[in-house]
Amino acid sequence: DTAVSQTPKYLVTQMGNDKSIKCEQNLGHDTMYWYKQDSKKFLKIMFSYNNKELIINETVPNRFSPKSPDKAHLNLHINSLELGDSAVYFCASSQLASGNTIYFGEGSWLTVV
Amino acid sequence: QQQVKQSPQSLIVQKGGISIINCAYENTAFDYFPWYQQFPGKGPALLIAIRPDVSEKKEGRFTISFNKSAKQFSLHIMDSQPGDSATYFCAARGDNFNKFYFGSGTKLNVKP
């Protein structure tokens, strides 16, 4: 059973399109994250939700909109995709109060052409 | 600006050798320092972690050395194996919201 699963794993799309990446965790954690890993492997947090409430919102273009329907799911919607959005997007989860470990999904490779 | 600085960017070690990766930070409020291991096509996975009140932590062949006064910490991989070839990230936790700042990663290649 995959602890943090995200779909799709690969996504190739044209500039200007709108796309979504879905994430689900079955670890019972109360906090979920989206991280972006660029071509130089640099990992940077984008958003975090705790029990469906936004708690971390880094400087990210408004074209990126996270949505957490419940604490086990965190989706990322991207409007008007640009070439610079090409990256690997990682979903992750943790138990905020008791755990320090964040568990990552396997990533979603987004290529904008 | 990068909150956690990591070096080297890449590292080649012979099988059986010692791999050493270094990280430095500025923010004294950081309270937890994990290392993550990432294999190609996979997400990062926690390898080992340390709190700033401890100077060293060892788990098997992996050791973290922590120097609070110098604001530096390092990962030592003893008896490095080809299966250790991966990208390693150091990180530091910045606040109660589990906001982690990651280093830029070190690509380790262990030659057979």
pLDDT tens, residue order, chain B (112 aa): 678 999 999 999 999 999 999 999 999 989 899 999 999 989 999 999 999 999 999 999 999 999 999 999 999 999 999 999 999 999 998 876 678 899 999 999 999 9
The band of A14, judged by pLDDT with boundaries at 50, 70 and 90, is very high
Q: What number is the average pLDDT over the span A33-49?
A: 91
Q: Is residue A45 over pLDDT 70?
A: yes
Region of B79 on the Ramachandran plot (φ > 0 left; ψ -120 to 50 alpha; else beta):
left
pLDDT given for residue A1 in this prediction:
62
Do A43 and A37 form a contact (C-beta atoms < 8 A)? yes
Min Cα distance A110 → chain B (Å) is: 13
In this structure, is the dihedral angle defined by the CA atoms of residues B63, B65, B71 and B72, taken in order, positive or negative? negative
Contacts of A48 in chain B (CB under 8 A): 97-99
Cα separation, B94 vs A83, in Å, equals 31
Q: In what order do the strands lie in the sheet with A4-7?
A: A4-7, A19-25, A73-78, A64-70
From A33, A55, A106, residue closest to B42, measured CB to CB:
A106
d(CA B90, CA B24): 9
A23 shares contact with chain B (CB less than 8 Å): no
Question: pLDDT band for position A55 (50/70/90)?
Answer: confident
Smallest Cβ–Cβ distance between A107 and the set B43, B46, B104 belongs to B43
Q: Give residue A98's pLDDT.
A: 66
Average pLDDT over residues A95-112: 87
Nearest-Cα distance to chain B for A20, in Å, is 19
Instruction: Give the nearest chain B residue to A97 (CA atoms).
Output: B96
**pLDDT for A64 beyond 80:** yes
What is the mean pLDDT of the segment spanning A93-109?
86
For the segment A98-111, the average pLDDT, to the nearest whole number, is: 88
| Shortest Cα distance, chain A CAs vs residue B45, angstroms | 7
Q: CA-CA-CA-CA torsion for A78, A84, A87, A89, nearest 10 degrees?
A: -30
CA A39 to chain centre: 16
Measure Cα distances from A19 to A7, A13, A66, A75, B111 in Å: 11, 8, 12, 11, 41
